[in-house]
Amino acid sequence: MANEKEVIILNKPFLGGWLNEEGRIGHEIIDFFLADENKKGEKKYYVYNNPWGLCPDDIWVGDSEKVNDYGLKKTEGEKYIAKYMVLASDAHALDDKTNDEVASTNKKSKPKSFHILYVIKLKAKIHRFDTGKGEDKGLKKGQEEIGTLIENNGIAYNGKLLNKIYGEDDSLYLTFEADPNFVYKVKEGETLLFEPEKYNFARNRGYIYEDTLEADYKKLSDIIKKQIDLANKKDNDGKLEKYQLTTLGEATIGKHHVEKTFLDLIGSTDKEQAFTNMLHALLNDNEIFKKFCNTFRKDGSDFANGEDFKIEREKKIKGGRMDISGEGKLQKVIIENKIFSGLNGKKKDKKISQLSTYYDWGSKDENGEELPLSPLCFITAPDARIAYIKAEMKEYDLTMAEKDIFHFIPYSKIVEFLEENEELLKLNELISLLFGQIVNAFRNWSYKSREDLYADLFLKATDRNNA
């Protein structure tokens, strides 16, 4: 064991449009929950590895000397030992010249950095099935074999065997058994950034090998070790905290959101642009716009109630494009909407982002003169995203964070606002026709945590595939 090299496995949860197609399940949803009690009375915890559930032929997980519970023993070719799986955010790239964040497809960018979300200790590799596409390459046989493995081990969620939940889905189902007592998550309001020197994070090669990427392996290992040590101290001043896994069930997440809306029909349930457009349509009336500002402005902040505002969507200014803006003679209003995206326009060397740019615009009139009233600045986002965005502000736009310039409005509060102003909003004929669905669209993102969201998606899947 002393001479064996190690590898850290990286994974990124599926959260995008892939989930919108009816019947598809984000495999990583099961990364956060214990399976139901099996035939032996045990509660085991399984994780899926991207892509296709494959564990590379050169990686082993578990005891090197014994045959494990799944009938596997380490082979000579499995020369790397994986101890940890790190669940991470999307990768971010910085432009070499400006330090601005750029699209991760930019070939000239530096290695992509990412935020660590969870650290999981792995216990056992549970299969070596081929996952090549096409029946002749083993996928169908692999699925059948894993189906048998699931049935033999009684691996079930919400009372249903995992292979029955997935049905005819063309993916394999799980890869590792993990330690349910060794799951750490980043605390609310914190970010834990990893900036590699050489490694570029990609879904289909999420592995940092000890020998081939030595500097990055050591850097990430040191981060994990330090943060876990801090998390286990009585006075935890680190960024990780232990996360207690629970089995799935209605009681786990409270309200089970199942309402379909017109966004399901057009595959836009997670499209940030769709929610920005809805917000603009709802607020594109001065009476409602001013009600919104008065409802959500911070205590003590001034608001120009007596004037009308020019309300615009996607207004271009130098250095950015605001989601929703309102311009009056005395004051401006800025509304930035986020679902999955983080801060844009980040200049790491200056510690500013798009928010500072927007605030500067909002403080002055078209001639560059200071306006009488400071701008009202809002960020609307799903409840579970707010702590992360606040943490990002502390890291990338410290002035906006310290001065508490932007007021956060969770989607649950938007739901309350819409319901309280239903009569006024329904004066708009189109909004009147869609009002209930608009409310449900925002309600369906009113999760208090990422875990609630994943649990809900999985519960929907188990109900839909009522096996």
pLDDT at 227: 97
Tokens of 85: 């799986």
Cβ proximity of 123 and 177 under 8 Å: yes
| Alpha-helix residue ranges (DSSP H) falling in 235-271 | 250-253, 262-265
From residue 5, how far is each of 42, 57, 89, 213 by CA, in Å? 31, 14, 26, 11
pLDDT at 203: 57
Torsion of CA 14, 102, 120, 10, to 10 degrees: 80
Termini Cα distance of the chain: 44
Domains and CATH numbers, the chain: 5-257 (no CATH), 262-445 (3.40.1350)
Cβ proximity of 337 and 408 under 8 Å: no
pLDDT at 168: 62
pLDDT at 137: 56
Neighbour-count burial of 251, counting CB atoms closer than 10 A to its CB (0-12 exposed, 13-18 middle, 19+ buried):
exposed
Among the listed residues 271, 83, 246, 253, the one whose alpha carbon sits nearest the alpha carbon of residue 178: 83
Query: Which residue carries 């990583």 as its tokens?
Result: 28
Tokens of 80: 């790397």
pLDDT at 77: 93
pLDDT at 385: 85
Q: How many CB atoms lie within 10 A of CB 311?
A: 19
Q: How many CB atoms lie within 10 A of CB 326?
A: 27
Q: Is the peptide bond before 51 cis (omega within 30 degrees of 0)?
A: yes
CA distance 334 to 314: 11
CA distance 142 to 187: 38
| Alpha-helix residue ranges (DSSP H) falling in 171-261 | 214-231, 250-253
Helix (H, G, I), strand (E, B) or coil at 158: coil
pLDDT at 458: 63
Neighbour-count burial of 5, counting CB atoms closer than 10 A to its CB (0-12 exposed, 13-18 middle, 19+ buried):
middle
pLDDT at 389: 87
Cβ proximity of 48 and 87 under 8 Å: no
Q: Which amino acid is at 35?
A: A
H or E stretch including 406?
strand 406-410
Strands 33-34 and 406-410: unpaired
CA distance 151 to 143: 12
Cβ proximity of 274 and 340 under 8 Å: no
Would you give per-residue pLDDT tens digits along the chain (467 residues)? 456 899 999 887 654 443 444 444 444 444 556 788 887 888 888 887 765 667 888 999 999 889 998 999 999 999 999 999 998 876 665 444 444 444 444 444 567 788 898 899 999 998 888 655 555 556 677 778 888 888 888 888 777 787 777 666 555 567 889 998 899 989 887 889 898 999 887 655 689 999 999 999 999 999 999 999 999 998 999 999 998 877 655 444 444 455 678 887 777 777 889 999 999 999 999 999 999 999 999 888 899 998 999 999 999 988 889 999 999 999 999 999 998 777 777 776 667 888 999 999 999 998 889 999 999 999 999 888 888 888 888 888 888 888 889 999 999 999 999 999 999 999 999 999 999 999 989 988 887 766 666 666 666 666 554 44
Q: Where are the beta strands (DSSP E) in 126-233?
A: 156-157, 160-161, 176-186, 193-194, 207-209
The DSSP letter of residue 332 is E
- Sign of the Cα pseudo-torsion (222, 224, 227, 233, in order): negative
